[in-house]
């Protein structure tokens, strides 16, 4: 065998080994509560009237164990402050909690009538279709008041961010 044939054979063998060692990475899957997870712009109401003119950012996301029956609701210390675990029906896109302890403060929060409605809202400026969020909350340090949280998922258009 000539030297060029040996070099070609070795190069082809090395190339084959490199290709055999490469495998396509499996795509990263979503979380168990991804149908409910998002960043939201919410307004807070009492008896249908706004408590403040501002919208606040709120997050909903999976807990560390990534189960499909619990998630966090997090106000990023902007509102009350509260970060609580709620019970979830991921398929039905509903959630609730009874006296959930806040990670940020020494309060508990009861959440009722929590739901995400797919494509039920629009960004206020962009008019981009997005999801809607609603829930009612009673805070242990204000037990006689039911607050309604209502809002829309971030559209990622800067003009829709408050």
Q: What pLDDT is recorded for position 53?
A: 87
Q: What pLDDT is recorded for position 1?
A: 54
pLDDT by residue for the chain (162 residues), tens only, comes to 566 666 565 555 555 555 455 554 454 568 999 999 999 999 999 999 999 889 999 999 999 999 999 999 999 999 889 999 999 999 999 999 999 999 999 999 999 999 999 999 999 999 999 999 999 999 999 999 999 999 999 999 999 998
Bridge pairing between strands 56-62 and 49-50? unpaired
Q: What pLDDT is recorded for position 30?
A: 84
| Domain containing residue 133: CATH number | 2.40.128.220
Is 29 a member of any domain?
no
DSSP state of 19: H
- 115 in Cβ contact with 93 (< 8 Å): yes
Q: What pLDDT is recorded for position 8?
A: 62
Is 15 a member of any domain?
no
Whether residue 81 has a cis bond before it, omega within 30° of 0: yes
Is 33 a member of any domain?
no
Is 144 a member of any domain?
yes
Give CA–CA dist 46/98, Å, rounded: 20
- Domains contained in the chain, number: 1
pTM exceeds 0.85 for this model: no
- 71 in Cβ contact with 86 (< 8 Å): yes
Give CA–CA dist 145/109, Å, rounded: 12
Domain interval for residue 56: 38-160
């Amino acid at each position: 065998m000539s030297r060029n044939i040996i070099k070609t054979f070795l190069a082809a063998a090395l190339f084959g080994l490199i290709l055999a060692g490469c495998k396509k990475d499996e795509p990263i899957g979503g979380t168990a509560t991804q149908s409910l997870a998002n960043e939201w712009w919410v307004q807070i109401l009492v008896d249908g009237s706004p408590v403040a003119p501002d919208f606040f950012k709120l997050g909903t996301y999976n807990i560390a164990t990534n189960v499909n029956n619990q998630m966090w609701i997090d106000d990023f210390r902007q509102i009350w402050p509260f970060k609580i675990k709620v019970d979830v029906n991921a398929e039905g896109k509903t959630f609730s909690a009874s006296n959930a302890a806040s990670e940020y403060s020494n309060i508990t929060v009861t959440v009722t009538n929590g739901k995400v409605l797919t494509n039920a809202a629009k960004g206020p400026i962009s008019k981009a279709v997005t999801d809607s969020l609603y829930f009612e909350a009673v805070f242990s340090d204000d037990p006689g008041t039911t607050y309604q949280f209502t809002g829309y998922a971030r559209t990622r258009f800067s003009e829709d961010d408050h």
